[in-house]
Structure 1
């Protein structure tokens, strides 16, 4: 009898574990957000990460509303997407809304136009942004303000213009494309890091406040992405940086990050850090041993300054 009891424990344990795994998979499948026919708004959709997000969400069957400053370039993206066919999934020709996110006075009017496209928004992806390279001593405060207008106040204004309609429907997902620099600050990126820190704080607050309405908020914090972000970055006097940094050139492919954004929306992930081992370590070091982190950043600032002076 003891032998029979002992012999039965192994299969029972395996069966129990298998049942738990099956239940977990079922739970995840039920919780997965289906994007077919969902209305997805993407800012900064004419190039870089925004354009790649347009491709992956279009392939997922979403009804896209592409936003940007250049109507011609947006239409080029639309034509590219229309040329993509998938017999297994129904896709739609995207709508476009042209406006400058840094001009917050126009954002409310743009939001009205966005809502007119399909009557509501299921997913808002705040992707548009600008980078910065410069020494604080040589940077005019107007440049700091301009970066904040594009990277922080613009997305906040658009989010708050769309938010009431989501609350009324009791459904919606807001995504903020931040940066690892929204969690740690590195030298010669003051305006950019400040805008991304503000973004992290605002959308963390938003997540807590709108959970009672059934809304979702995701913050995606990538490291370097292989786009023209550094080329188009502004410097301390407001001129264009015009250089592809080595770190940017060796960064992640935009397609990889776009798929991570898609995954975050599908699985309702709240905070996603897409960074290599060293930036990830720096995030934890800043929290657990700030004095060591400050020494590392001071050393980095001195090294970069020596390189510039050579």
Structure 2
């Protein structure tokens, strides 16, 4: 029997300074993972790293800064050698009627909640494919499955994120890389307080549903358990929100069907015809 210890997982989490991201960092730290923590606030990320108490790399960058993101990927690979899990968690919400909402709000939310996680995934993806393994985790929302009032920009981004993840999953199904979509309902975080008003200013107040939501550490434990169990679509919600998410859940049989198309040579056929 080999005396070599199994290498610790390297887990990269964006939006790691608070809320679900911070809770996921603590949960993975308790399991002995190495952490890469990203967000905008260096001081708060350093605090999370200190609380985690394990080997951690803090990589702050603004989600929309593609040059900074590219540099962060290079630094992450230099430090860790591989990324086993990438959690695209950073995001921002909205509380405004569409009829009153500035187009800039749509631009900002789609850039942060959709284009930024796609860009980071696209940069990390070749490394995971080369190593023949990895997990890509996308934190969407029940509002990425069901159209929710006062969140048209947020829904557009989160629906889009699930579409990207689902299509990517089919391609990765033959390359050893797993893709997980997480759709939380109300979790007790600052998501509502940080949400944008119609004019793009921060809301600076929370919702009762969010304040009374699932504690972030409970949500994180549930997410990790579902990932370890191999669940592809993970609904983290209670009560009516859970019922809505489950009603809109993509059936496993359909996910299997799409992966089967790839296994049967769909990509090769399409590429040969182009």
Q: Calculate the TM-score normalised by the size of structure 1.
A: 0.76
1:47 and 2:9 aligned: no
Partner of residue 159 from structure 2, selected from 197, 209, 214: 197
Partner in structure 2 of residue 101 of structure 1? 63
Partner in structure 1 of residue 28 of structure 2? 57
Q: CA–CA distance in 1 between the matches of 2:218 and 2:72? A: 29
Partner in structure 1 of residue 39 of structure 2? 68
Q: CA–CA distance in 2 between the matches of 1:280 and 1:200? A: 17
Q: CA–CA distance in 2 between the matches of 1:120 and 1:94? A: 14
Q: How does 1:10-25 map to 2 (within 5 A)?
A: none
Cα separation, partners in 2 of 1:277 and 1:63, compared to 1, 3 Å: same
Stretches of structure 1 that go unaligned for 5 or more consecutive residues are 1-34, 83-91, 288-310
Partner in structure 2 of residue 182 of structure 1? 144
Partner in structure 1 of residue 201 of structure 2? 239
- Please, which moves more after superposition, 46-55 or 73-82? 73-82
- SS of the equivalent of 1:203 reads helix
Stretches of structure 2 that go unaligned for 5 or more consecutive residues are 1-5, 250-274
Question: RMSD value over aligned CA atoms?
Answer: 1.6
- SS of the equivalent of 2:187 reads coil
* Contact 2:195–2:202 (CA under 8 A) maintained in structure 1: yes
Q: How does 1:218-233 map to 2 (within 5 A)?
A: 218-233=180-195
Cα separation, partners in 2 of 1:57 and 1:286, compared to 1, 3 Å: closer
- Deviations 1:203-242, CA, capped at 9 Å, x for gaps: 0011111111011000111101101110011111110101
Instruction: Report deviation, 1:264.
Output: 2.5
Partner in structure 2 of residue 77 of structure 1? 48
Q: CA–CA distance in 1 between the matches of 2:107 and 2:232? A: 28
- Deviations 1:5-56, CA, capped at 9 Å, x for gaps: xxxxxxxxxxxxxxxxxxxxxxxxxxxxxx9601100101111111111100
* Contact 2:186–2:210 (CA under 8 A) maintained in structure 1: yes
Instruction: Report deviation, 1:159.
Output: 0.4
User: After TM superposition, what 4+ stretches of structure 1 lie above 2 angstroms from structure 2?
Assistant: 102-106, 279-287
Q: CA–CA distance in 2 between the matches of 1:286 and 1:75? A: 38
* Contact 1:231–1:243 (CA under 8 A) maintained in structure 2: yes
1:38 and 2:18 aligned: no
Partner in structure 2 of residue 270 of structure 1? 232
Partner in structure 2 of residue 14 of structure 1? none
Q: CA–CA distance in 2 between the matches of 1:105 and 1:136? A: 32
Cα separation, partners in 2 of 1:273 and 1:283, compared to 1, 3 Å: closer
- SS of the equivalent of 1:98 reads coil
- Please, which moves more after superposition, 275-284 or 189-198? 275-284
Partner in structure 2 of residue 293 of structure 1? none
Q: CA–CA distance in 2 between the matches of 1:105 and 1:138? A: 33
* Contact 1:133–1:236 (CA under 8 A) maintained in structure 2: yes
Q: Calculate the TM-score normalised by the size of structure 2.
A: 0.85
Which has a greater percent of helix? Answer: 1
* Contact 2:142–2:244 (CA under 8 A) maintained in structure 1: no
When the two structures are aligned, how many residues end up with a matched partner?
Answer: 244
- SS of the equivalent of 1:220 reads strand
Instruction: Report deviation, 1:107.
Output: 1.8
